[in-house]
Amino acid sequence: MGKILDVSGKVIVITGGSRGLGAEMAREFAASGADLVLTSRNKESCEVVANEVRQLGRKAVAVSCDVSNLSDIRNLFNVTLKEFGRLDVLVNNAGANVTKPAVEVTEEDWDYINDVNIKGLFFCCQEAAKIMIQQNSGKIINISSVGGVKPYKRIAPYTSTKAAVIHLTRSLAAEWARYNIHVNSIAPGLISTEINKTEMENTEWLDRAIKAIPLRRLGDPKDISQIALYLISDAANYITGQTFYIDGGTLSE
């Protein structure tokens, strides 16, 4: 990607870092010189990705963290400071969803999705900002979704949280710009990962999904990790408060 996207020595926290987009971003950032703190509720899965990072010659720490739990969030950032003494980047990638008709959504479903996707994301931003304000520098990437602007059936609570992420990103960017903290969002379209493997095996569903994408292909995790690398690099130092739609043109129609 060139020296301009070199992120050597940066310390990066990735929530939801054990698989899918989080794991791919960890590999991308490590290959470009960053050290990682990887977190999810499953520390063992994070440790697998952390070992991949170490094999690339970078430092990595795996931390168990349920982002719906504020004590876990505070511990995550305390561990980061203890291990590295600073924090340059936070990527809020952890997410939750429940697929069902809106009339069947329970209070437990609603609380679960909102606690992870917006409450947890906000308080991760808050804890990161406390460190970044002292440093007078930092970058935050919030992972939203094209569902934050395009309606989809059977995932109403999920899409509402992703819309909230887009607006929260703009609000925090405006408030924290004075501290040289950049806050941006990435809104992926349909990306092929192990998380949606079951759906991908349904050829009828897959054909229908691809036909709805102007580029006529699914996104690859690298399509997300590479734009994330750009945003955390010095090449993006005049960008804040923006949402980048990486969707193969889905929102263009």
Q: Which domains does the chain have, with CATH numbers?
A: 3-252 (3.40.50.720)
Encode pLDDT of 110-139 as tens digits: 999 999 999 999 999 999 999 999 999 999
Which phi and psi (to 5°) does residue 213 adopt?
Answer: -105, 115
CA-CA distance, 9 to 12, in Å (whole number)?
Answer: 9
Encode pLDDT of 9-62 as tens digits: 999 999 999 999 999 999 999 999 999 999 999 999 999 999 999 999 999 999
Which pLDDT does position 1 carry in this prediction? 43
Which pLDDT does position 140 carry in this prediction? 99
- Annotated catalytic residues are 158
Higher pLDDT, 4 or 188: 188
Scored b (16 or more CB within 10 A) or e, 222-243 reads ebbbbbbbebbbeebeeebbbb
Encode pLDDT of 194-237 as tens digits: 777 777 788 898 999 899 999 999 999 999 999 999 999 999 99
CA-CA distance, 187 to 162, in Å (whole number)?
Answer: 9
Is residue 218 within 8 A of residue 174, CB to CB? The reply is no
CA-CA distance, 7 to 235, in Å (whole number)?
Answer: 10
Sheet containing 35-40: give its strands across.
Answer: 60-64, 35-40, 11-15, 89-92, 138-143, 181-188, 243-246
Is pLDDT at 85 greater than 90 in this prediction?
A: yes
Higher pLDDT, 200 or 70: 70
Please report which confidence band the pLDDT of residue 3 belongs to, taking 50, 70 and 90 as the band edges: low
Q: Which residues have C-beta within 8 Å of that of residue 88, sequence separation ≥ 6?
A: 10, 11, 12, 137, 138, 139, 232
Give, rounded to a whole angstrom, the gap between the first and last alpha carbons of the chain.
30
Encode pLDDT of 87-103 as tens digits: 999 999 999 999 999 99
pTM: 0.96
Which pLDDT does position 198 carry in this prediction? 78
Is pLDDT at 2 greater than 70 in this prediction?
A: no
Which pLDDT does position 31 carry in this prediction? 97
Structure tokens at 138: 């930092």
Encode pLDDT of 150-171 as tens digits: 999 999 999 999 999 999 999 9
| 24 SS3 class | helix
Which phi and psi (to 5°) does residue 44 adopt?
Answer: -60, -40
CA-CA distance, 227 to 230, in Å (whole number)?
Answer: 5
Q: Which residues have C-beta within 8 Å of that of residue 13, sequence separation ≥ 6?
A: 36, 37, 39, 76, 77, 80, 87, 89, 90, 91, 124, 128
Structure tokens at 126: 């808050």
Please report which confidence band the pLDDT of residue 193 belongs to, taking 50, 70 and 90 as the band edges: confident
**Tell me, what amino acid is at 180?**
N
Is residue 21 within 8 A of residue 224, CB to CB? The reply is yes
